[in-house]
Amino acid sequence: MNFAKLSSPFVLAAALAGVSGSVAAADYRNNPFTLVYDGAIRQNEAGKVNIRPVSYTVNGIKIAANVYTPANFNPNKQYPAIVVAHPNGGVKEQVAGLYAQKLAEQGYITIAANAAYQGASGGEPRQTDKPFNRINDVHGMVDFISQFKGVDTKRIGALGICGGGGYTFATAQSDKRIKSVATVSLFNTGLIRRNGMNDSAVATIQERLAKASQARNLLAKGEVQYEANADLTKITDEQIAQMPAGLYRDGAEYYGKTHFHPNSTPRYTTESLLDLMTWDATDQAELIDQPLLMIAGSAADTRYMTEQAFAKATGTKNKELVLIDGASHIETYWKPEYVKQISAKLTQFFGKTL
C-alpha cells in the first residue's frame, strides 16, 4: 500500500501494513515454521491442526506454501478447501497464515502461499509485483490444492487479505473453480499505485509513468530500480511516532516490529508500475457470480476500496458487506477481538457456501 504522494522511505514502508496500539512481539526465530502470528502452530500433533510446507511451480517459478489440515485429518475423506492470498509486502507466515490456521480449525484444508518473486518463492527480479503474477498465484493455489488428497474439488473457496484481497477479487471474476470468495481489508493496488490514497496523487500520474518507463530501460540493461525500498528493521520508535496516525504508523509497527519476518519487505520494482497503474481490481467485477463476502474495518482509511468493489459486483445474487466496528485496516490482521469476529463470519460464510 505504498501511496504515490509519499516520499519518506519510512512512510512508504509503513504504507504496506499496520497495527495500532501495542502488541507483544512475535519472533519468527522462536517458531519452527517461522510463523509470526498469535497462537501459531509450533509442532504437528496427532488429533490437531497440522501444517505442511509444500512447493510447486506456477509459470515455471517455484512457489513456497504452507498447507493446513484439520484436526484428525483423514486423506481418504473429502474436505472443503480455501486458498488464502497474503497482503502486498507480506508473506505466508503473517496474517495469511493466521486466517488459514483459523479456518483449518473449522474443518477446512487451507493453503497460504508466498507470491511469485516474493518471500520464499522464486522469481527474478525480486519483488516484481504485477497483477498478472499475483492473479496467477491465486490460480496456482487452486491448481495445487485441487490435487491435494482429501480435497473436494467442488468445494473450493478463496480468501484474500489487503492486496491479496484485490487480486483474489479479480481472480474470482474468471476462475469458476472458486465456488465462493471472501476478502478482508481489500486493497485495490492498481487504483492506489495510479491515483494514490483518496486520489491524492492524480497530478503526478504521467511523471510516475515516465519514471517507470525509464526503469524498464534500465531493467533491460540489468539494473533493477525499486520503490518503497526501506529497511524495516531500522525504523525507530521516534520515527514511527512522527508518522501520520493510522495505516502508516500501524504498518511500521506491524511489519517492522511486532510481526516482522525477514522475507517480508515493502519494496517493489519501479518497472512494475507500468502494469500496476493500468490495472484495477474492479474492472470486470460484474463477472463475479459466486457468493461474495467482503469485510473491512469501520475505521479503516482503506474502507472505501471495499465499498467500491462491493458496489461493482453486480453479477452475484449472494453478497454481503461486513464492517468490523472500530477496526482500522491492519488491526484486522492481528487484534484478537477483531480476528475473532472475522473468523466467525468467515466460518459462517464458507459453511453456507461450500
pLDDT digits (tens, 9 = 90+) for 228-273: 987 877 888 888 888 877 777 788 889 988 999 999 999 999 999 9
Would 1 be classed as within a structural domain? no
Would 22 be classed as within a structural domain? yes
Range of the domain at 211: 9-353
Would 3 be classed as within a structural domain? no
Taking CA atoms, 158 is separated from 211, 282, 284, 336, in Å, by: 35, 17, 18, 22
Residue type, 160: G
Would 181 be classed as within a structural domain? yes
What angle do the packed helices 336-353 and 95-104 form, to 10 degrees?
50
Residue for grid cell 484485490: 166
pLDDT at 24: 54
- What would the mean pLDDT of 1-20 be, rounded to a whole number? 34
pLDDT tops 70 at residue 16: no
Please give the model's pTM, rounded to 2 decimal places: 0.93
Q: CB–CB of 336/93 below 8 Å?
A: no
CA 201 – CA 208 distance, rounded (Å): 10
Would 331 be classed as within a structural domain? yes
Determine if the peptide bond prior to 125 is cis (ω within 30°). Answer: yes
Whichever domain contains 306, its CATH number is 3.40.50.1820
Would 2 be classed as within a structural domain? no
Would 230 be classed as within a structural domain? yes
The domain total for the chain is 1
